[in-house]
Amino acid sequence: AKEGDAPKYKFFSAPLNERLQAEMLTETLLRAALKTHQLQLFYQPQVCPQQGKLIGLEALIRWPHETRGFIPPNEFIPIAEKTGLILELGQYVLNEACKQAAHWTHSGFDFRQISVNVSPLQFRQTNFAKTVKRTLQTYGVPANHLCLEVTENVFVDTSEKLVLNILSELQKIGVQLSLDDFGSGYSSLTYLHRLPFQELKIDRAFLTHADRHEQKEQLFQAIVGLGRSLGLRIIAEGAETAGEYALTAAHRCDGIQGYFCSAAVPAGDIQARISAFQRSLGHKPEATIETSA
Ligand code: C2E
Ligand code: MG
Ligand code: MG
Ligand code: MG
């Protein structure tokens, strides 16, 4: 088409084109970042809301950008998934997390368990369980120190049977299995009881402001009850305030992961963060307020 004689669809295709170009650029940069080890893992503590004791850590990928600070995973993980780069990225994360776990064990830091996010594409790879087993062996990490988090998205486009098979293989290896962002997506309620998860992470949306809204609290409580009845360890995601933290204690969650304790930080900062948090509990009476259960 001539200049100035643009067809109507150009109005729509131009931004789409821009988006595709931006995605391709991101993919190129991400691939390079992966190759040159620019991607880092940060760790976010999970603590029990009764005494604030460490019960585990989640590894979260960080991509530092020269001028933009950190590029949020929610911006590049979907692109990595679309392009398949997530397979390499996922293995990198698994390696780094196992390396860190081995290091912590040798230095005498009792981190309990390290959680790693697994994307659906990675999860469905042939031999994923074997790969996990080999990685654990490479770094000398006992299987029960590793927890693999998947979201309800693993059920999209995949039969329940296949998901169950993969989970069962992973269970045989002895790794912990966690259902992440529970309640935020495609609901797996009908077969949750048949899947070998040990842990349920309640999506942050349910805890946010639940200490200030009766109905939100009831919904939160119901989800905790559901997880409990299935014998799962319950982690509440996204506790940001003393009120939300206290609510998770009142409803007997096994753990919380949220800014109230700490954001994700470099491995070297973890112990200081946890100590600071535990000290702060002693000075913050509002953190132990009883809420109506
Ligand atoms: P996620 O697995 O549900 O991880 C929890 C996210 O919530 C993290 O965001 C964490 O920083 C954030 N968060 C924790 N506490 C709070 C809080 O109190 N308030 C708020 N507002 N947010 C909180 P992050 O690191 O930006 O990661 C976002 C998502 O990107 C993750 O959600 C996960 O789905 C994905 N992701 C991160 N790292 C990896 C990875 O290594 N592999 C894969 N496949 N996905 C990853
Ligand atoms: Mg997660
Ligand atoms: Mg989550
Ligand atoms: Mg998420």
pLDDT digits (tens, 9 = 90+) for 127-143: 999 999 999 999 999 99
Residue nearest to atom 34 of ligand 1 (CA): 117
In percent, the amount of the chain with pLDDT more than 70 equals 91
Q: What is the ipTM of this complex?
A: 0.98
Ligand nearest the Cα atom of residue 60: 1
Categorize the per-residue pLDDT at 18 as very low, low, confident or very high, splitting at 50, 70 and 90: confident
Among 149-163, 178-192, 246-260, which is the least confidently predicted range?
Answer: 178-192
Does the structure show a pLDDT above 70 at 126?
yes
Check residues 221 and 19 and name the one with the higher pLDDT: 221
Find the mean pLDDT for residues 186-203. 88
Question: From the CA of 257, which ligand is nearest?
Answer: 1
Q: Which residues of 120-144 are buried (b: 16+ CB within 10 A; e: fewer)?
A: bbbbeeeebbebbbebbeebebebe
Tokens of 275: 């100590």
Would you say how long the chain is, in residues? Answer: 293
Query: Which atom of ligand 1 is the closest one to the Cα of 201?
Result: 3
Residue indicated by tokens 């200030």: 212
pLDDT in tens, 76-124: 999 999 999 999 999 999 999 999 999 999 999 999 999 999 999 999 9
The rounded Å distance from CA 4 to ligand 2 centre is: 49
Atom of ligand 1 nearest to the CA of 74: 30
Pocket test for ligand 1, best of 41, 46, 60, 121 (most atoms within 8 A of CB): 60
For residue 45 and ligand 1, the question of a CB distance below 6 A is answered with: no
Q: Which residues pair with 65 in a beta bridge?
A: 69
Instruction: Please tell me if the CB atom of residue 117 comes closer than 6 angstroms to any atom of ligand 1.
Output: yes
Find the 13 Cα to ligand 1 centroid distance in Å: 32
Q: What's the average model confidence in pLDDT over 62-70?
A: 90
Atom of ligand 1 nearest to the CA of 257: 15
Residue whose token pair is 């040990």? 198
pTM of the complete model: 0.92
Report which secondary-structure segment, H or E, holds 27. helix 10-35
How sure is the predictor about 292, in pLDDT bands with cuts at 50, 70 and 90?
very low
